[in-house]
Amino acid sequence: MHDIKFIRDNPRDFDAAMKRRGLTPQSQDILRMDEERRKVMTELQELQALRNDKSKSIGIIKREGGDAQAVMDEVSALKARMGDLEERDRSLMDRISQHLAALPNIMQPDVPDGADEDDNVEVRTWGQPRSDKTPEHFEIGEALEMMDAETAAKMSGSRFTVLAGPLARMERALAQFFLDTHTAEHGYMEVSPPLIVRDNALFGTGQLPKFAEDLFRIPEKSNELETEVTSSRWLIPTSEVPLTNIVADSIVEEETLPRRYTAFTPCFRSEAGSAGKDTRGMIRQHQFYKVEMVSITTPETSIDEHERMTRCAETILQKLNLPYRVVTLCSGDTGFGARKTYDLEVWLPGQGRYREISSCSNCGDFQARRMNARTRPKGEKQTRFVHTLNGSGVAVGRALIAVLENYYDAEDGGVFVPDVLKPYMGGLTKITKDAMKKAAA
């Protein structure tokens, strides 16, 4: 959400910011509605003062034995006029709010201009990409008889996968390793949040109303006897939603900031508009697991916190010894709610290219305004909006894909277990078909 005062004071700057997002000028329409609303509010205040004066005069006239009916009629007319103006005020406020809610965040000045992902800017690389071409992850998993999309499709449809045996354990091991690293080394507090949220939570983080088609909606009935749907809840697309909403509609004391939260949850996405993309394997699923990082900070520290969060995600990939690169998303690829985003892209030798495994974004006060999340220094009355950040720390499924392809052994089709995961794998050092048979036995 945007600050209407900023738009009043800086209409050209606001339009320039929206132009970077590929939008036409917006300030004129917004300010026209805002000016009309301010006129309505001014008239309301004037009528309120007039009604108060006339209401007082009614008592005086009656005490003096006069006939106050004419003044009483005037007061009734004023009340009716005020009711009309109040309804007009609500209508204008709704229109302004809906308009502002549909507009993306203002990006940081250092975000590079560009049309799409081809214009993203590489910041740095780490590790030496494997030069030989390996099978893709689904070919490896199917050959090991531990990855089964066909069975998943029978029960759930496309874009689901069943993992079994040591491969299922490795998925769990990755999540535990991520959480242990972020909590013990990076200062994040582990949270187990709800997986189902209301409309307001998704509005607060920017998924609603714009991205409703990307979500899974759960219709609700007011009671068991009624058939009419009266409200909705939603499966979370990422734990960014519940973690960020921990501070919604609250005033956070500034000395408690930054607050850093992490969670391991399933994520649910409809993948609207992704027909034909990554149809095989686990790259693009309706249900997947992710360890999320969320930070709540002051405006002065959010840029540094963004760099820190990105380094935390990088640490995970470095500990797994997975080659990756960091890119700054250009203006045409930056998400709706972000001021600036770094993507971490891990090397997948099966595809012979880098693929996104983490996205770390600074949202500034964009989400905080939508959630009404504020902060204030201890002992002071004045409040201001917090800044919010979110990042994958990292996507568990894509990390599993990267391990399968980067640790693949062409000699026997097995997959070596990364050193940092061995404590979580019961001493298993390599995933092979024999390991699957032992697990089944």
Higher per-residue pLDDT: 64 or 36: 36
pLDDT above 80 for 70: yes
Region 405-417 average pLDDT: 97
SS3 content of the chain, % helix, strand, coil (to 5): 45, 20, 35
Domain boundaries, the chain: 4-101, 117-440
Task: Tell which residue, 231, 244, 196, 218, has the closest CA to residue 370.
Answer: 244
pLDDT tens digit sequence for 293-334 = 999 999 999 999 999 999 999 999 999 999 999 999 999 999
Instruction: Classify domain 117-440 by CATH number.
Output: 3.30.930.10
User: Which pLDDT value is given to residue 436?
Assistant: 60
Question: CA 42 → CA 56, 75, 212, 388, distances in Å?
Answer: 22, 18, 37, 35
User: Which pLDDT value is given to residue 224?
Assistant: 55
Task: Tell which residue, 438, 441, 436, has the closest CA to residue 143.
Answer: 436
- Considering the chain, what is the average pLDDT of its residues? 94
Structure tokens at 71: 């003044």
Decide if 140 contacts 349 (C-beta within 8 A).
Answer: no
On the 0-12 / 13-18 / 19+ scale of CB atoms within 10 A, 403 is: buried
How far is 329 from 33, CA to CA, in rounded Å?
Answer: 34
Report helix, strand or coil for 376.
strand
Region 330-359 average pLDDT: 98
Catalytic residue ranges? 269, 284, 356, 359, 398
Decide if 262 contacts 191 (C-beta within 8 A).
Answer: yes
Q: Which CATH number fits domain 4-101: 1.10.287.40, 2.40.30.20, 1.10.3720.10, 3.30.830.10?
A: 1.10.287.40
pLDDT-derived band at 219 (thresholds 50, 70, 90) equals confident
Decide if 343 contacts 359 (C-beta within 8 A).
Answer: yes
Contacts 24+ apart (CB under 8 A), 59-66: none
Residue with tokens 């201890």: 378
- Compute and round to an integer the Cα radius of gyration of the chain: 28
User: Which pLDDT value is given to residue 64?
Assistant: 87
| pTM listed for this prediction | 0.92
pLDDT-derived band at 109 (thresholds 50, 70, 90) equals very high
